């Protein structure tokens, strides 16, 4: 298989553990083992203490699948397969797509969502997000006009990484209606689900709205547990689940036994974990709005509606790639430029889910004022 380098992951590989500060991570502050265990229920603690470190069930631990199914309305345990989130993207694209299939993908996008279909030989239409009135927008007519007889799949990601874009329920329903009318699959990457910036903004999972939807979710972002490497696909497309487990035999075969039990613990602490992350994001959003307003001669703040990232515009005159390079070299602060998402224009990502976000802005204040 020929596949391009994953630019974002290669960028993180250079700086994630060498730069002193990260301004652009997409995950929320990680939980410690102690925090997770201290708040665990008696049943999952018992499972943890008696855990045998053997191979696990290919579709995922039955109790974990049961807990996952509870997040949805139309899903039973049998509609769930667990996988590392990135692996879930890989095996789903390989299970459903073939050379020359046409796929429509929102743009910018987490690279594997477009790179894997491209490596399979699909033809791709990039459904480009645009900024207008200090917010991000998707044109639904553009989606409708991009569909042709060979269109097999639409790939969406709401709340969106990196822009924080989230459609309204009405817009989301229209996307589903368009897909249904043309009988195309929706691959809905919902890795930032439940992190909407207002309760009334939350969308249902695509899997609960559409019979040909495949929804991806996991513990890496919303649940502050990227190190567990636990994610899942839920779908009502029965034959796909079977194909996914067959493909998984060539990736991880099954999940990690300790991670599965820790994942059960986390799902049972959902409300507390979510509340802490929403509080973090609320505080960081306030600080970000104030910081970028103070420096509005340089930046245009583009308000995110959900998730733990924002995609901000650096005004013309300075190259964002150049600026990110200078800042990491001189201040040891890593910032991801939009070019890493193959998105033209002078944008960069900030991550709103970490505890040291405000400290990093303080570190940057003087530097930015002198630009």
Please report, as ranges, the residues that interact with ligand PLP according to CB under 6 A: 26, 84-86, 110, 157, 161, 189, 191, 218, 220, 226
The H-or-E segment that residue 327 falls in is helix 320-331
Smallest gap from Cβ 165 to ligand PLP, in A, equals 12
CA 129/CA 107 separation, integer angstroms: 6
DSSP code, position 51: -
Q: What angle do CA 187, 191, 197 make, to 5 degrees?
A: 115
Nearer to ligand PLP, 309 or 363 (CB): 309
CA 161/CA 157 separation, integer angstroms: 7
Nearer to ligand PLP, 189 or 196 (CB): 189
Q: Closest by alpha carbon to 231, among 92, 94, 96, 353?
A: 92
Nearer to ligand PLP, 157 or 205 (CB): 157
Nearer to ligand PLP, 97 or 368 (CB): 97
CB 231 within 8 A of CB 217: yes
Name the residue number minimizing CB distance to ligand PLP: 220
Q: What angle do CA 132, 282, 352 make, to 5 degrees?
A: 70
Extract the tokens encoding 162: 């990196």
CA 221/CA 174 separation, integer angstroms: 27
Smallest gap from Cβ 110 to ligand PLP, in A, equals 4
Smallest gap from Cβ 304 to ligand PLP, in A, equals 14
Smallest gap from Cβ 75 to ligand PLP, in A, equals 20
CA 219/CA 31 separation, integer angstroms: 11
Q: Would residue 100 be called left, alpha or beta, if left means φ above 0 and alpha means ψ between -120 and 50 degrees?
A: left
CA 311/CA 347 separation, integer angstroms: 6
Nearer to ligand PLP, 109 or 264 (CB): 109
Nearer to ligand PLP, 21 or 165 (CB): 165
Smallest gap from Cβ 365 to ligand PLP, in A, equals 28
Nearer to ligand PLP, 234 or 368 (CB): 234
Nearer to ligand PLP, 84 or 334 (CB): 84
Q: What is the DSSP string of 200-211?
A: GGPPPPGGGT-T
Extract the tokens encoding 67: 């807990």
First to last CA, the chain: 45
């Amino acid at each position: 298989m020929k596949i391009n380098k994953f630019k974002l992951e290669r960028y993180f590989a250079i700086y994630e553990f060498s730069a002193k500060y990260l301004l652009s991570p997409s995950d929320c502050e990680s939980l410690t083992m102690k925090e997770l265990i201290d708040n665990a229920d008696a049943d999952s603690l018992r499972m943890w203490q008696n855990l045998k470190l053997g191979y696990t069930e290919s579709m995922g631990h039955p109790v974990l699948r049961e807990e996952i199914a509870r997040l949805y309305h139309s899903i039973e345990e049998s509609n769930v397969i667990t996988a590392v989130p990135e692996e879930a993207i890989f095996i789903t694209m390989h299970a459903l797509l073939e050379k020359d299939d046409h796929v429509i993908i929102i743009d910018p996008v987490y690279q594997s969502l477009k790179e894997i279909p491209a490596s399979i030989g699909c033809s791709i239409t990039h459904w480009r997000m645009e900024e207008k009135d200090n917010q991000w927008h998707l044109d639904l007519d553009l989606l409708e006009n991009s569909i042709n007889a060979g269109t097999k799949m639409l790939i969406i990601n709401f709340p969106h990484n990196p822009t924080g874009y989230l459609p309204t329920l009405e817009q989301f329903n229209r996307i589903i209606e368009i897909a249904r009318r043309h009988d195309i699959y929706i691959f809905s990457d919902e890795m930032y689900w439940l992190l909407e910036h207002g309760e009334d903004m939350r969308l249902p999972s695509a899997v609960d709205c559409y019979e040909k939807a495949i929804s991806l979710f996991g513990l890496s972002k919303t649940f502050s547990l990227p190190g567990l490497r636990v994610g899942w696909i839920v779908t009502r497309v029965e034959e796909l689940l079977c194909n996914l487990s067959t493909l998984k035999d060539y990736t991880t075969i099954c999940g990690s036994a300790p991670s599965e039990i820790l994942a059960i613990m986390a799902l049972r602490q959902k409300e507390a974990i979510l509340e802490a992350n929403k509080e973090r994001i609320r505080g960081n959003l306030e600080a970000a709005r104030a910081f970028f307003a103070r420096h509005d001669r340089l930046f245009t703040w583009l308000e995110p509606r959900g998730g733990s990232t924002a995609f901000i515009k650096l005004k013309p005159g300075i190259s964002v790639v150049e600026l990110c390079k200078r800042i990491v070299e001189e201040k040891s602060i890593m910032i991801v430029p939009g070019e890493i998402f193959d998105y033209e224009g002078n944008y960069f990502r900030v991550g709103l889910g970490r505890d040291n976000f405000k400290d990093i802005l303080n570190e940057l204040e003087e530097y930015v004022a002198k630009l």
